[in-house]
Amino acid sequence: MKKNIIKALLTSAVLVPFATSAIAGSEARTDLVIADLGQPETNPWVINRHRFEGCVADALGVTLKEYDDQNSEEQHVSQAESIIASQPDGLIFNPLTAPAGIQVARLLEDNNIPGIAVGRLVVSSYDDDYQGEDFIAQVTQNNDTWGEAMGRATVELGYKKVAMIWTQKGNISAAEIWHGAARELEKGGVEVVAEAWDVLSRENGQKYAEQYIARFAPGEVDAFIVIGAVAGLGSKFAIDQAGRDDIAVITTDIDEQVAEFIKQGELEFSIGGHWMVGGFGLIQLYDYLHGHPITDTQPKVGLIPVTAENVETYANGLLNGCILSPETVRSLSKVHNPDADLVGFINDWQANWQSFVE
């Protein structure tokens, strides 16, 4: 979405994001109330995001209030309206779709409440495509490399004909992830025989897998590439029920069940760690509320590919507890550490994560 479209939606002046309600270097506030708006805890991404974000809130002395949108664009916006009416100090939100995210951004601007999107994108490029004052940043993951990793794993595992199950259209991040995956699949000579775009759920993962199983005989499809472990496990259930051991599942997100399937060899690949965007976004918002300017309006968390080789370390280290100690969290905040480099930490996380869990 380009600037002229955003201008039609928002009437705010063009400003570099900078907190004006607090003075940099002030004492750490203990009265901050931050609202979090996202999806229900029916998939591991949301569960893990809330867990890590809660740990960050505790380390910073922030009161965090969580709300969900029931996977509905209408509910996403109506919940945002209710949240804004309660006048929190700030908002962290994972937009269900880009249009829903734009409406939330408009609410932030109209009510002068700072907010940061985490995970899914509101606009493709904050600096190029957004003009406003109170929607201050979007902390996301590297969508292109995420998709490339999924596509590359599919190629390296030797699959040749895949059917795709993806989240609904209107989601910029999902489109970018698929672009990366499709590029790697094409490069590796893998044929995409079918596509489905819909709300992520176990039921939809199962439904589209059942349709593909009925449509394609053995040899006509050898893998389903599914975004989101909830849908991925739904697809796996359909495959198991049909006795189609000729079809594999390549998916994303990791919970205890997915990790166990990888250990047992029933799933060969998943990718995760992107849910840390919530905690990182909270640190960025916390610093902003203390008067520290946003230095990177769209930092990108690198995802962690998980196979049988590293699943034990990933599961033991990232699926339990807070991952980062309170001291480490505070060291990433300018409020507590003038030399903090949150963006640098985010950039290095994909390469360094094992040093924090071993």
What local confidence, expressed as pLDDT, does residue 188 receive?
Answer: 98
Please indicate whether the domains covering 3-142+274-312+323-356 and 144-272 agree at the CATH topology level. yes
What local confidence, expressed as pLDDT, does residue 9 receive?
Answer: 43
Q: Which CATH class is domain 144-272?
A: alpha beta
Q: Which residues of the chain have pLDDT under 70?
A: 1-26, 358
- Tokens linked to 339: 């030399």
What local confidence, expressed as pLDDT, does residue 357 receive?
Answer: 84
Give the integer Cα–Cα distance in Å for 5 and 289: 28
Domains of the chain: which residue ranges?
3-142+274-312+323-356, 144-272
> Measuring CA to CA, how many Å separate 231 from each of 68, 159, 228?
19, 20, 6
Helix, strand, coil % (nearest 5) of the chain? 45, 15, 35
What local confidence, expressed as pLDDT, does residue 291 receive?
Answer: 97
Number of C-beta neighbours around residue 210 at 10 A: 17
What local confidence, expressed as pLDDT, does residue 170 receive?
Answer: 84
What local confidence, expressed as pLDDT, does residue 133 receive?
Answer: 96
Q: pLDDT tens-digit profile of 112-124?
A: 999 999 999 999 9
What local confidence, expressed as pLDDT, does residue 26 receive?
Answer: 61
Give the integer Cα–Cα distance in Å for 158 and 337: 48
Say if residues 142 and 47 touch (Cβ distance below 8 Å): no
Q: Which fold has domain 3-142+274-312+323-356?
A: Rossmann fold (3.40.50)
